[in-house]
Every structure is written in C-alpha cells, then in structure tokens.
Amino acid sequence: MKLDNNNHSVFLLHYHLVLVVKYRKKVFTNEISDFAKDMFIEIGNKYNITLIEWNHDKDHIHVLFKAHPNSELSKFINAYKSASSRLIKKNFPHVRKRLWKEMFWSRSYCLLTTGGAPIEIIKKYIESQGQK
C-alpha cells in the first residue's frame, strides 16, 4: 500500500461518499454520471481530493476518493453539490423539468472513512447493514 505525503506528514485518507438525488428521482444516466464525475474531478483538484472509483444508480452515486489532511471535506462537498446541481440542470433540460426549482441533490449525504477498502467491499457492507 502506497502512502501519500506532503512536506511534514505521511497519510492515507480514503473516503466513501454517497449522494442521493432529491426525492430519489431516477434521473441518472451514464451521460449525466460522466458529467457529474468530470465535475467531481475538476472541483476535487482545488481541495486536494483525488477520485479513485465512481459508480451510479438511477437515483444516487457512490464515490471512493482520497484526500489530504488539509482538505476541507464539508466545504468541498457543498461546493460540489452546488455547482453540479446548477450545471446538471443547465445542461440536461429533462432533469430541470423533473426537479424545476429544487436542488438536484438531497440536502443530506453519507461520508464514511474506508481505510482504502475497495468500493465492492463497502457496497457489500452497506447492503448487509440494510438487511438488519
């Protein structure tokens, strides 16, 4: 396992982020997912955040990413949700019709530390928790 570093520290910070579309509207397509993913990469670069894996379903996304200790995760997530909401609705008119004045994303999100576990393992864990 390769550790990240900067001038004064060594670290390995992996996170799993789940974002859900407002009202769980089933609007995600491969095209919208790719658009949202590209935005995640672009905005993440400004916050020392690197995308590792990206998966989507019709109403939510799963993102595995790594960050630096100085990354402000809540600011990044809010910036990403705000910008992606605005641009997805601008570039995909059918989404704008379904969500009109609403934000694209739900107000809440799920952020978990993973210790570098692959997204498949994380998904199995989440699924097992839902069955309890």
CATH number for region 9-130: 3.30.70.1290
Rounded Cα gap, residues 12 and 4, in angstroms: 6
Q: Of 3-7, 105-109, 117-121, which range is least confident?
A: 117-121
Report residue 40's pLDDT band, with 50, 70 and 90 as the boundaries: very high
Q: Where are the domains of the chain?
A: 9-130
In this prediction, residue 11 carries a pLDDT of 86
pLDDT digits (tens, 9 = 90+) for 69-101: 999 999 999 999 999 999 998 999 888 776 666
| pLDDT, tens digit, 9 for 90 and up, residues 5-35 | 888 888 889 999 999 998 898 989 999 999 9
